[in-house]
Structure 1
């Protein structure tokens, strides 16, 4: 286990980066009010207020790594915070619906920067068990912040939809904390590998593809659960919301335990998380009561966040000469996976002869468990080979 020379003030500044990331939750509760304020706008376009930033993140996350390389991590952080703040708060001041979408592009640009640079800061400042602990804490902070922001955004949107965007004022003290507390990490000496001129290895590309596929399977639980609960009349919209709240509690616990779990399982951590995600979806697939959905959400939340933390470590270790870029590839890959998930699974279900609201889960849970088992066997074989040598 290794420790860093950084005090709690620095750690608070680092965790503030992740609190800033989740300010997107401020505006999600306002979508209904925005749709009512612009009745002539297609509802699908209104939904893009929530989805557009994720699409922009696919491109802005790798660009943030380029800025880190040619300037500095602190400089890139400042760009990310400023663009996220401006793109977030402007619709609360003026503008029509299409101005909101334009601002969401700017917001997504900053969001991609922050999504990538938060883990990059952790990997640059901390090492070993302390790094894993900080990555876990960031997920826990993000989960709690997301709940708080959602409540604040819902309250403000109930008064007037523009007020939800004005909620980004909360970001100002967090920005000040980040600027005051987070040092500019120094580039460390990295071992030589077969890398491209930007520092990316073949492993980076391979892991990015695998993570995109994993997220396409994993995301089926997040995108389908509420619809299954409500449309199959198992529960109400409020009860579906409670499932997501319990999922968030699971995410918080997954973040807080990531360091210990990663240290205990080591190379078995990723396959364990995939198997646990598969079990969570398996439980949901056969669920016929709300209590079973609550159990599914809790288990899935722990596994989902633990796997999400691991992908930052994978990205950093796959590109030792440019950790920020390696992490950005994993971030972009996860966003691609979430974006293509409904399209990919909708195309596969009729081919495989599946139908119904739960059809995508019938693909996801067996694949996740199977891949997790295969990965576990590969780790066992690798360990035995190493012992034989």
Structure 2
């Protein structure tokens, strides 16, 4: 075959794996109808179906290196996609709530098994400008996959909430494209990488700025997940017309968030360390638009602002982390950040529920209002580093590396 054709197939095969890595929240549109079906189950437990994959994903990200050493990278991706297919689609055919919980756990486990390879394989096969370009495409592919599955789930849920889970059948064509186009990477690459990691272990250092950034990411996700776990319930609670538009609203928000991420470098050049204040305020404004909306237009605008602001904020924090660690510490720092994000997502419904019970108001609107307050306070907190010349300066190089 033509070399260029093979190269294109390789790129498509690797990028295809990213279509599924951010799709756990696609079925957030099913929360309200599932609460009606499982009326004997607490709302918090039903909401946790959206976030359970984040927990199992975290566990299997930590286990993935062992699996890779055992069966190789290609088989690890194929195993992960197979697990994701079974766990993702099975809820469309079962009626037992415990079984659905297990399936959601299995979905996250499958994605977590190959999650790191969605990026790692790019560095295995490509270098230089080509590698950076593909890393940008990887981010876009992930956003497109999330938007696509959320949109389709929004359509399917109008027939029956079971059908919404069929969006995870997307894992089958992904598996086939990957299997047909991506070979097992050279073992020499993996061995060289392992040797380098062994040499650098004793050089790993994390300062207080990195730790504060990681902790911030945890709480950011705790209150960010309300956009996925509370919105379906909110629309039902407030009896807002055209609630079936929820899936489309989340899709629009996701796509605009992806665009925001691509534009982040330019935004930072102009705003510098004011960036986290601005982006936190945008997220707070977005949640306010959602929480106090009485029609779908304002709701959609609010949702879009949440995704736009979050995309810039998370990029800024990764930039701060990169600016405050040495080369040996970057991998562990990013891993800690991923762990914090996944833990925050998993514990979100429980933490929000505890706060709701403490204040005596468990409505979805109150949950969304908590997010307004949190991100508003976060914007104020970020003011202090600005007046102290910043806790860390995001270099242009770091920004380009993230986008």
Q: Does structure 1 residue 217 correspond to structure 2 residue 220?
A: yes
Q: Tell me which moved more, 363-372 or 46-55.
A: 363-372
Task: Flag structure 1 segments of 5+ consecutive residues without an equivalent.
Answer: 384-389
The 1-side partners of 2:150 and 2:334 are apart by 27
SS of alignment partner, residue 180 of structure 2: helix
1:125-175: CA deviation from partner (whole Å, max 9, x where unpaired): 444554443333223222232232123223333334333334433321111
**Is the contact made by 2:225 and 2:348 (CA closer than 8 Å) also made in structure 1?**
no
- 1:337 match: 344
Equivalent of residue 381 in structure 2, options 364, 367, 370: 367
- 1:108 match: 108
- 1:387 match: none
**Is the contact made by 1:57 and 1:109 (CA closer than 8 Å) also made in structure 2?**
yes
**Is the contact made by 1:25 and 1:149 (CA closer than 8 Å) also made in structure 2?**
no
The 2-side partners of 1:80 and 1:373 are apart by 47
1:85-143: CA deviation from partner (whole Å, max 9, x where unpaired): 11112233345221111122211211222433322223444445544433332232222
Give the direction of change, closer, same or farther, for the CA distance of 1:370–1:79 in structure 2 (3 Å limit). Answer: farther
The offset of 1:50, in angstroms, is: 1.3
The offset of 1:17, in angstroms, is: 0.8
Give the direction of change, closer, same or farther, for the CA distance of 1:140–1:102 in structure 2 (3 Å limit). Answer: same
1:225-277: CA deviation from partner (whole Å, max 9, x where unpaired): 977x97998x878488776454323212134446xx38x969x9995753442
The 5-angstrom pairing of residues 243-282 of structure 1 reads 244-257=250-263, 261=265, 274-281=276-283
**Is the contact made by 2:204 and 2:329 (CA closer than 8 Å) also made in structure 1?**
no
- 1:34 match: 34
Q: Tell me which moved more, 357-366 or 300-309.
A: 300-309
Task: Flag structure 2 segments of 5+ consecutive residues without an equivalent.
Answer: 359-366, 398-403
**Is the contact made by 1:90 and 1:103 (CA closer than 8 Å) also made in structure 2?**
yes
TM norm structure 2: 0.69
Q: Does structure 1 residue 53 correspond to structure 2 residue 59?
A: no
Give the direction of change, closer, same or farther, for the CA distance of 1:359–1:142 in structure 2 (3 Å limit). Answer: same
The 5-angstrom pairing of residues 296-315 of structure 1 reads 298=304, 300-305=306-311, 308=314
The 5-angstrom pairing of residues 55-134 of structure 1 reads 55-94=55-94, 96-134=96-134
The offset of 1:6, in angstroms, is: 8.2
Give the direction of change, closer, same or farther, for the CA distance of 1:273–1:140 in structure 2 (3 Å limit). Answer: farther
**Is the contact made by 2:280 and 2:378 (CA closer than 8 Å) also made in structure 1?**
yes
Give the direction of change, closer, same or farther, for the CA distance of 1:76–1:372 in structure 2 (3 Å limit). Answer: farther
**Is the contact made by 1:64 and 1:117 (CA closer than 8 Å) also made in structure 2?**
no
Query: Once superposed, what is the RMSD of the aligned Cα atoms?
Result: 4.8
The 5-angstrom pairing of residues 348-363 of structure 1 reads 357=370, 358-363=372-377
The 2-side partners of 1:166 and 1:30 are apart by 12
